[in-house]
Amino acid sequence: MRLFVGLGNPGEKYASNRHNIGFMALDRIAQDHGFSPWRAKFQGEVSEGKFGSTKVILLKPMTFMNKSGQSVGEAMRFYKLDSTDVTVFHDELDLAPGKCRVKAGGGHAGHNGLRSIHQHISPHYDRVRLGIGHPGHKDAVAGYVLRDFAKADQDWLDDLLRGISDGAEHLARDDGGKFMNAVALRVAPPRSSTSKPKPTPKPAAPSEQVADEAEDKSPLQRLMDKFR
């Protein structure tokens, strides 16, 4: 069993914030893969489903970001999971918009949601870091993450969320490499050549073939042909 946790803040006011990209990722997985309807549990909202034989619990803590660990810890204890069975989807200031990275363990880098989870279940859990870019100055961070994604962000955001959904099955099976490949195919699909294909040569007319053959012959061969 795996526990996928998306980080965000509850309520319509925050629904489209950059800080809520973790919620968005889980919503997309639940929608695309026929997970159960969301229901209130563990101080959050829970949806359940399967990828093959692997059961996956989706959890969106409704405690507000800085107390996310309370909800995660409660769910982990209920299902008797280890912290290594938990994968947290969260916004990442240090990655460019649309970038995605998988990470096992590590620090919280000042992220309040991760800080709270550290306190409740230890740092030994997996993360899916979802790039939202940095506003350029640390004093602008709070306002930046609590603002909605701009219209110009919608294309890459949709591609990223689709890629996460495509790769969720691999992530549930602890195959980060295949998960990242699935994301990359959505975010940066292979480009087809912009050059025009070379035209297919047309079969030469009989007279042209004779002329070509004649040009390929040496003067001696041409002389001999005259006496045939």
Flag whether 201 is in a domain.
no
Q: What is the pLDDT averaged over residues 61-86?
A: 97
pLDDT, position 209: 42
Pick from 210, 196, 158, 195: which is nearest to 27 by CA? Answer: 158
The values of phi and psi at residue 8, to 5°, are 180, -170
| Number of domains the chain is built from | 1
Closest CA to 79 of 52, 103, 59: 59
Do the domain assignments include residue 224?
Answer: no
135-157 residue pLDDT tens: 999 899 999 999 999 999 999 99
Vertex 4 angle, CA 133 and 86, to 5°: 100
Model confidence at 188, in pLDDT bands (50, 70, 90)? confident
- Token pair belonging to 17: 């914030």
* Active site residue ranges: 19
Flag whether pLDDT at 25 surpasses 70: yes
Q: What SS3 state is found at 107?
A: coil
Q: In this structure, what CATH number is given to the domain that contains residue 78?
A: 3.40.50.1470
Of all residues in the chain, what percent carry a pLDDT higher than 70? 83
Segments forming the whole domain that contains residue 38 = 2-187
pLDDT score at 65: 97
